[in-house]
Amino acid sequence: MSENTYRPGLEGIIATETALSYLDVDQEQIVIRGYDLIELANTVDYLKVAHLLMEGNLPSPSEYHQFTHSLAERQAVPDEIFAIMKALGPHPHLMDSLRTALSGLATFDTSLSRLDPQSTAEQAMTLLARMPVIVANSYHIKNHEAIVMPSPELPYAANFLAMITGTVPDDTEARAFDQLLTVYSEHEMPNSTFTAIVIASTLSDMYGALVGAVASLKGTLHGGANEAVMRMLLEMKTPDQVEPQLLAKLARKERIMGFGHRVYMKKPDPRAMLMKDSLKRLVTTKGHQELYDMCVIGETVMQREKGLYPNLDYYAAPVYYLLGVPIDLYTPIFFAARTAGLVAHVREQYGNNRLFRPRVRYTGPRNLHP
């Protein structure tokens, strides 16, 4: 490939080296530090995967205890952050609330300008600990509800869901939510992760890198797709409406959210299949069989008509819905889950840094004169 090679969207261009994750499409495997992500999601909890990403290994029992204890100690969010969130406009997008809260949170970190491994490890832990509290309360603040604090008795994922819904989840619900967090935790080099490491390459601070990632993830072609999927399903209402409405949308050349992926072009997203199974389990205990049936019909139609497979967002959206999560929170939760991967990438960039500075192919005029 020559130095003048250009591919729109950098498709297929290798932008960096990483030891964190890799999408092996041929093997239909998402590799996380040598482990298969789907196997991890089926065998360990989100915090063990977070430890793997952030510390480099699956934790021993003592390491896991220390990790969870350290997170619990860091959960408290300064009251000033909630005050900032309350001072935003009357109809904020929750990703904007999250972006602003993260930016404000940086000003409380006395190690902000230090990029040594110990300082950035501490920053990463603080961000992972506080993200659920900020995300859950972004919704409560927007809806003029009381601030909800984490419970010291609940595990991380169950605590996160309880802060959102106001109800302690049962084992099936807690497991489904934990798996959601796990499959969203890391995915090689999507736009938001690339944004974060580009910012980090300037030796800007970790909070700034994640603020940029929030702005990237907000877009409907990235994190916002899960919200669009659920609104589409609710619009269709019943299984018999799925095929005619999808065909009508395709005839109008509308983009159908939840299908297709820049990397998974000709094979299913393994995370989507895991969430399909999770949705099926939830339906057996919570009802709403019609929702599962609608998703299966939509999957069949899109594969037949366009040769497209569902991506994670397609089956994650109805799982969120059956767990009682408001649609406005789908993308912020995605970001909260991805925090473990993001901070790991930022720290990796600091450890072997080179400033990103690509070139362009110029298509404008030349030799003009005033």
Q: Where in the chain is the domain with CATH 1.10.580.10?
A: 21-219+334-351
The yes-or-no answer on residue 222 being catalytic is yes
Task: Look at residues 308, 311, 306 and name the one whose alpha carbon lies nearest to residue 269.
Answer: 311
CA 148 to chain centre: 22
Q: What is the pLDDT of residues 73-132, one digit of tens each?
A: 999 999 999 999 999 998 899 999 999 999 999 999 999 999 999 999 999 999 999 999
Q: Which fold has domain 225-322?
A: Cytochrome p450-Terp; domain 2 (1.10.230)
Element (H, E) at 43: helix 37-43
Bridge partners, 118 (sequence order)? none
Cβ atoms of 254 and 306 within 8 Å: the answer is no
Residue 258's closest CA among 322, 310, 330?
A: 310
**CA neighbours closer than 13 Å in the CB half-sphere of residue 183:** 25
Q: Can you give the pLDDT at residue 265?
A: 55
pLDDT in tens, 167-203: 999 999 999 999 999 999 999 999 999 999 999 999 9
The CATH number of the structural domain formed by 21-219+334-351 is 1.10.580.10
From residue 276, how far is each of 41, 74, 213, 279, 283 by CA, in Å? 13, 34, 27, 5, 11
Q: Which two tokens stand for residue 205?
A: 């601070």
**DSSP at 91:** S
Query: Which residue type sits at 140?
Result: H
Indicate where the chain has its CATH 1.10.230.10 domain(s).
Answer: 225-322
Tokens coding 330: 């789908």
Residue spans of the chain under pLDDT 50: none
Phi, psi values for residue 279, rounded to 5°: -60, -40
The pLDDT assigned to 27 comes to: 84
CB 362 within 8 A of CB 5: no
Catalytic residue among 45, 187, 205, 261: 261
Q: Which amino acid is at 278?
A: S
Q: pTM to 2 decimals?
A: 0.93
What integer pLDDT is reported at residue 363 of this predicted model? Answer: 94
Active site residue 261: yes
CA-based diameter of the chain, in Å?
73
Choosing from 222, 288, 293, 328, the catalytic residue is: 222
Helix (H) or strand (E) holding 35: strand 35-36
210, 338 Cβ separation under 8 angstroms: no
Residue 25 pLDDT: 82
* Predicted pLDDT of residue 3: 62
Instruction: Supply the pLDDT for residue 2.
Output: 56
Dist CA 156 CA 178 (whole Å): 9
